[in-house]
Amino acid sequence: MTISIVTRKDWDARPPRDEYVPLSGTKGVKIHYTGGYVDPRLVSDHGRCLALMRQIQNHHMDVNGWADFAYSYAACWHRKVLLGRGPGILVAANGKGLNSAHYAVIGLVGDSGLTAPNDDMLHAILDAVQLLRERGGAGNEIKGHRDGYNTDCPGTPLYDWVRRGAPRPGSLPTKKPGKSAPAFPGRLLRYPPSMHGADVYVWQSQMRDRGWNLIPDGTYGPRSKEVCVAFQTECIAEGVGIGAVDGIVGERTWRASWEKPVT
C-alpha cells in the first residue's frame, strides 16, 4: 500500500520560527501521544485531525517556546502520515539530551476521550517509521516516550503495543479463546457511567478477538455493554455459568471471555 502523506501545507502548518537543526541517523523512533482529551469525532472526521495538528503546533510554539511542531510525523485515525519536522531534522519531543538519539512520531490519542489507537493509526505510525528509516537513517528501535524519560506518554494502550514489538495489525496470530483468563482486575466493568482504563482495553481486545464488532478504546460505554449482554446471553444459552445477563463484566463474565470455547 502506498503511504499516504499529509503535507504541512495540507494541514495548514505555521512556518518554523527558526532554522532546523540537522540530524543524521538515530537509534530509532520514540512513540508519543497527545495526552489530555481527544475528541471521539476524529474517528469519522479527518478535518478534526488536521485541526488537532494545528492546536498542538500552536501550543508547542506559543506556550513551550519551541521553534515548531515538535515531532517528525503524526499518525491519525485514517491511516494518514502527517508531516511534522520530517526526516533528517532534530525533534523537540523526547526530552533534554534525548532528542538526538531518536526521531519522534505522535499518535493522535490521549488519556481521555480517544485513548487507544485503531488499526489504521498503528499502520500509519509504522508507515512513518518506515519513512524515517528510508529517508532519515533511523535505526531499528521503536520505543515509547516513557522509555528513558519520566512520563506516562504514550499512554497504556499504545505503549502495550510498543512493548509487544509494534507489530503490523493482522501480522500476529489471533488469540484463541479457550485458554486461562488473565487475573480479574478487581473491579466491575459497567455502564453507565462510562468507565476507563487498561482493564477495559484488555477485555475489549479479547472480545474483538472472539469476533465481536467492538473497537478497543479503553472506554466501557454503551457499545461495550451491548457486546457484554450479547455474550452473556450466549453463555447462558450454552450453559456457561456467568450469573445474570446484566451487561456488567464481573469475575465470572471476565473468565468466560477467555475460557469459553468459540462456537
Task: Using the predicted structure, report yes or no on whether residue 243 has a pLDDT greater than 90.
Answer: no
- Taking the CB of residue 152, how many other CB atoms lie within 10 A of it? 13
Beta strands in 184-238 (DSSP E): 195-196, 219-220
**pLDDT value of residue 126:** 96
DSSP code, position 94: S
d(CA 247, CA 27): 46
Q: Strand 102-107's sheet: what is its strand order?
A: 5-6, 81-83, 73-75, 102-107, 26-33, 138-144
Range(s) within the chain of domains with CATH label 3.40.80.10: 5-164
d(CA 90, CA 65): 16
Name the percent of the chain in helix, strand, coil, to the closest 5.
35, 15, 50
Q: Which grid cell is 144? A: 515509547
Helix residue ranges, H only, 88-155: 119-136
- Taking the CB of residue 37, how many other CB atoms lie within 10 A of it? 12
Using 50, 70 and 90 to split pLDDT, how confident is the model at 191? very high
**pLDDT value of residue 213:** 80
Is residue 107 within 8 A of residue 33, CB to CB? The reply is yes
Which residues sit opposite 6 in a β-bridge? 82
Q: How many percent of the chain have pLDDT more than 70? A: 96
Which helix (H) or strand (E) segment holds residue 224: the answer is helix 222-237
pLDDT, greater one: 49 or 148 = 49
Is residue 154 within 8 A of residue 33, CB to CB? The reply is yes
Cα–Cα nearest to 208, from 77, 108, 116, 114: 116
**pLDDT value of residue 173:** 44
**pLDDT value of residue 55:** 97
d(CA 230, CA 195): 19
Predicted confidence (pLDDT) per residue in 86-135, tens digit? 999 999 999 989 999 999 999 999 988 888 899 999 999 999 999 999 99
Q: For the chain, what is the radius of gyration of the CA atoms?
A: 20
d(CA 159, CA 41): 23
**pLDDT value of residue 179:** 66
Task: Using the predicted structure, report yes or no on whether residue 234 has a pLDDT greater than 70.
Answer: yes
Burial grade of 82 (CB within 10 A; 0-12, 13-18, 19 or more):
buried
pLDDT, greater one: 261 or 46 = 46
Task: Using the predicted structure, report yes or no on whether residue 76 has a pLDDT greater than 90.
Answer: yes
Task: Using the predicted structure, report yes or no on whether residue 172 has a pLDDT greater than 50.
Answer: no
Classify domain 5-164 by CATH architecture.
3-Layer(aba) Sandwich (3.40)
Residue 211 to residues 4, 150, 198: CA-CA distances in angstroms? Answer: 29, 37, 20
Q: Which grid cell is 132? A: 524515517
Q: Which grid cell is 24? A: 543524521
Residue type, 246: D
